[in-house]
Structure 1
Amino acid sequence: MSSVQFDRVGDNVSVDLLGESIVRVVLKPGARMTADDGARARQELLALTGSKPSVVLLQITGVGSVTPEAVSVYSDAKTVRAFAILGSTPMDQDVVRGLLGHHKPACPTEYFTDLNSALHWLLQHIPA
């Protein structure tokens, strides 16, 4: 898998395609994710997919914090069919627990510490 680039100063999120219907959203380590970051990610997701249904690999490893408003922007995306949240630290797990307690997405959502397991799970949710 290719490395992630944060193209502009101040960018806290990077969005790219891993496959036809798999979108990777990477949160910048140490960053505080806001509703503006969530809106930008959603806008890029829709542009990459042509507003067609997709599944999302959300990489949160090392993120500083995520506001509940940022989560609601992500989780309210009507074209997202599943979220695989990928983290690796106990802090990542705490962030996810807190976020999902505030605003759980309407689509299937799972937390993973292994990339291959996350991708395998997402493949089962790719829209036909």
Structure 2
Amino acid sequence: MAASRHGQSRFLGGTFMREQTPVGNKYTVELCGNVLYQRWASGAVVTEEDARAVMAKVSALCSSRPRPMVVDISRMGVLEHKARTVFAGAWPLTRVAVVGASPVDRVIVDFYVARHAPVCPTKFFTSFSDAMTWLGITSGQTMNLQRLSRAGEATNHSVRDQSRDARDADRMLNVLLERTEKVISETQAVTTGWPLFSVEAKLTERLHSVLPGVRFIEKDVRAWAARISS
């Protein structure tokens, strides 16, 4: 995949990973007026347990009243498969605006939305002000925006420093998916009648050959092999 200011990025069978050691607490969740603000720490590896902890905190802050939420993933490291499944479930939220700092961040969110179809409307932004507008937050509402504004400004500077624009993210995702589907199709053409374990071995070999910089989890490869064998 592509390099980012966080280090080298890798795609692990649906998990986008930036290689960086997390520092400090993994996340922060705060209620600013009517808006929830959630930020992942630098290099955080987001697990199912983390996702459920955030959900519990969000539920407690909402107090049975659905609210919009802003999520800052500009420093996040890894979003694991089971964590994405939790995030796609039912939350006491009206909308989720995800703010990132690079084309890779956009790919992470686009892939998550396309594959998991979250219950709550979810959209990616590179600007905190655009995110707040989409959430329907007006200046007349009582809320503390100072912290969000500072974080948003830092994100905007980072975005301006990127050598590629957001359209690169779409191209990255499309190329990845197209190449993966092509490998699956080509493997199917040469493994007709093979037992499942042989199909899985051949598919793994082909994926590593065509996409050497990509790492796929066994669960996904097994599912694709089963699709070929069916």
Question: TM-score band (shorter)?
Answer: 0.7 to 0.9
Q: Which residue of 2 aligns with 1:53?
A: 66
Q: Is the contact between residue 84 and residue 111 of structure 1 (CA under 8 Å) also seen in structure 2? A: yes
- Length-normalised TM-score, structure 2: 0.46
Q: Is the contact between residue 43 and residue 75 of structure 2 (CA under 8 Å) also seen in structure 1? A: yes
Q: Which residue of 2 aligns with 1:35?
A: 48
Q: Partners in 1 of 2:115 and 2:53 — Cα distance?
A: 21
Which amino acid is 1:55 matched to? P
Q: Is the contact between residue 62 and residue 89 of structure 1 (CA under 8 Å) also seen in structure 2? A: no
Point out which structure has higher relative CO (alpha carbons under 8 A, 6+ apart). 1
Q: Partners in 1 of 2:50 and 2:30 — Cα distance?
A: 15
Q: Partners in 2 of 1:121 and 1:95 — Cα distance?
A: 20
Which amino acid is 2:117 matched to? K
Q: Answer yes or no: is 1:67 the counterpart of 2:80.
A: yes
Aligned length: 115
Matched residue of 2:32: which SS? strand
- Length-normalised TM-score, structure 1: 0.80
Identical pairs, percent: 29
Q: Residues 11-67 of structure 1: CA distance to partner in whole angstroms, max 9, x if unpaired?
A: 3121001222x1111111211111111111111111111132111111100211111
Q: Which residue of 1 aligns with 2:30?
A: 16
Q: Which residue of 1 aligns with 2:152?
A: none
Q: Is the contact between residue 95 and residue 135 of structure 2 (CA under 8 Å) also seen in structure 1? A: yes
Q: Partners in 2 of 1:100 and 1:68 — Cα distance?
A: 13
Q: Is the contact between residue 62 and residue 92 of structure 1 (CA under 8 Å) also seen in structure 2? A: no
Query: Going by fraction, where is helix more abundant, 1 or 2?
Result: 2
* Structure 1: gaps (5+ residues): 1-8
Which amino acid is 1:107 matched to? C
Among residues 117, 124, 129, which one is paired with 1:104 in the alignment?
A: 117
4+ runs of 1 displaced by more than 6 Å? Answer: none
What's the CA shift for 1:10?
A: 5.9
- Please provide the CA RMSD for this pair: 1.8
Q: Is the contact between residue 39 and residue 73 of structure 2 (CA under 8 Å) also seen in structure 1? A: yes
